[in-house]
Amino acid sequence: MTHIKIAPDVEFKLDIYLPGISDDSRDYDLQQHKAEIYTMFEARLKKAFPEGFKINTFEFGQNISPH
């Protein structure tokens, strides 16, 4: 078996309901939900990469693009 290490810079879109957060909320308000967002993000990664993964940094903000 071959083990491969890839370290990409990835943009990840996540639809999640957070109480009190809307499209007009500030990134600061969104940052208060970091634990909830990271938990959902990590659960999705575990499904995608059951062999394991490592995250060195975790930064996020509101996606204001129309897509």
What would the pLDDT profile of 2-61 be if each residue is shown by its tens digit? 777 777 777 777 888 888 888 888 888 888 888 888 898 889 889 988 988 888 777 777
d(CA 36, CA 23): 18
As a whole number of angstroms, the distance between CA 59 and CA 53 comes to 17
- Apex 12 CA angle, 7 and 15, nearest 5: 155
Distance CA 6, CA 23 (A): 33
CA gap 47, 41 in Å, rounded: 10
pTM of the model: 0.64
pLDDT digits (tens, 9 = 90+) for 18-33: 888 888 888 888 888 8
